[in-house]
Amino acid sequence: MSAMEKNLAEQPLLAGRQAPNASFRKPLACGLLLLGTASFFSHGYVSDLVTRQWRSSAPISFEAQCPQASPLIPSKSTKELDDAWEYLSSDAFFNKSIEHLSGAVQIPTQSYDDMGDVGIDPRWDIFHSFASYLEETFPLIYKTLDVEKVNTHGLLFTWKGTEAELKPTVLMAHQDVVPVPDSTINQWTYPPFSGHWDGKFVWGRGASDCKNQLMGILEAVDVLINAGFQPKRTLVLSFGFDEEISGGEGAEHLAQKLLKRYGHGGAAIIVDEGAANLEGWGANWAIPGVGEKGYVDVLVTVRMPGGHSSIPPAHNGIGVAAELISLIEANPYEPKLDESNPYLSLLYCGAEHAPEFPKGLKHLLRKRAHQSTCAKKGNKDELALEAAKAGLEIKYLFTTSQAVDLINGGVKTNALPERTTFTINHRINIGSSVDAVLFHVAQLFTPIVKKHNLTLNAFNNATETPSSLTLSTRPEHLEPAPVTPTGPGTPFQILSGTTRALYGEDLLVAPGVMTGNTDTRYYWGLSEHIFRYSMGWDREQEGLGRIHTVDERIGGKAHRDVTRWVFGFVRNMDEADL
């Protein structure tokens, strides 16, 4: 370890941290391969990745690396359930479903970054209206299921199963939507909270993120109740109300209640919003997320002497901050496909099944497959570098991202800045960690600190001092999520079989990883079987329904098929031997 590394490692919050080229996660055994998928392919938006584990001491080929589950149709049925399934394909249901979603979109359940306490800030009150709308729309659900309000606006529905020893199925969605800036309202084709139906799409904020999923889940449960279905396995519906601002008031409280009720690992499966079905490499894919990238915001504060701007020094605080920002941008993280990174799984799946999979990637896959998986970590990853050439949307599926997105400094034109701050947002690659990112930043900035004779306070909670560089983090930082197992006999097979039964065997299912984070960040202890999947699919719809931007919308077919998917999935889970 160099003197600089020793100095950094001795600081309180850096103690025990390794240099960036070291492994920050225990390596997988040699010979362990992971298969995966993502929001990749030919579209200009990011969906997500994939992960499947395989062990073999034999030479590796592309055959049988990504086996597909057979379509799974519930074996236990009644005339009422058969009729209900027919009803879900009817125009009568389609029209009612569109009406339900339109009404939900019309309630502007916006969550803002600066929301005050629940019950104090009046902007939370709109969620009372949304809860009332759900009760008016689905009275049979409120009569049949146990309904609890958690932290005022969190909604928890429990349909108790007849066999209490079976672990429950948990379905999730969130009630809130990202705000619509006033400056963008006139850019919308239809008003953002109109819920307008044009015969093909429902338009409005929340239509695809994710009131369609919330309403589709409730519609499926409503139809099951009407058909006389009584679950053996308890079904839990958990709907947060501040997912768009990290879920601290909604999902965190809901998860704590469920953990207390069912215990660690007490749920059989959790399904939340997530990756969509996509086309790529000449094939159709469903890519339910089995993990998420981590994140951390690094806050940088430069303190330098002030004074009159008519007598400037060679460098002031803003100049030093600019130097640091330039250094960050000049030293991006390299693409790296760690053996635990799910995008590697996607590549193997593509090589096996996709008719248009690139020959160059296939060559590098074969080369990697026959090399030791215990190679030195410091080497450049040829496969990752080649895959990254497809564009930034692909590169950041297996690369830690860093972006300076907030900056502030100076108070007057004739006064030198005494305090300049900026924030670097990181989304952490699978196989890396928060510690790796913090060490990287501190190590990178150390030469600038020495150059300007500053004191470095690196993640040690030190009080800012004159002539110093202070590094800190926001408390919400998150490690990359645990990866859901997807092997034989796991709930992934139920999810996969349900999906292929609905959409056909030409749809390939491969597990994926989210580049962003969902409310499931609070549910890691409740189940190791967590999937982030937007199960509705309209092949005429482009992308993810323009979430978080002008003209958000969802195809009517996609919305209807959320209900059809949930209807089959709940029954398949009820029959599963897990």
Helix (H) or strand (E) holding 149: strand 146-150
Q: Which residues pair with 284 in a beta bridge?
A: 279, 507
Binding residues: 174, 209, 244, 272, 548
Coil, helix or strand for 454? coil
Alpha helices in 114-210 (DSSP H): 126-137, 139-144
Would you say how long the chain is, in residues?
A: 578
Nearest CA to 390 among 329, 348, 343, 338? Answer: 343
Neighbours of 379 (CB within 10 A): 9
Report residue 502 as tokens. Answer: 């609905």
Binding residues for Zn(2+): 174, 209, 244, 272, 548
556-575 and 211-226 helices cross at what angle (nearest 10)? Answer: 50
Active site residue 561: no
- Catalytic residue from among 5, 48, 176, 222: 176
Alpha helices in 263-316 (DSSP H): none
Alpha helices in 248-358 (DSSP H): 251-262, 317-330, 343-353
* Strand-strand pairing, 419-428 and 401-409: antiparallel
- Phi and psi at residue 100, to the nearest 5°: -60, -45
Check: CB of residue 74 under 8 Å from CB of residue 573.
no
235/525 Cα distance (integer angstroms): 18
Active site residue 176: yes
Q: Which residue has 């306490």 as its token pair?
A: 117
* Strand-strand pairing, 289-292 and 269-275: unpaired
Cis peptide before 30 (omega within 30 of 0): no
Report residue 191 as tokens. Answer: 């008003």
- Catalytic residue from among 5, 219, 222, 243: 243
Report residue 60 as tokens. Answer: 């590796």
Active site amino acids: 176, 243
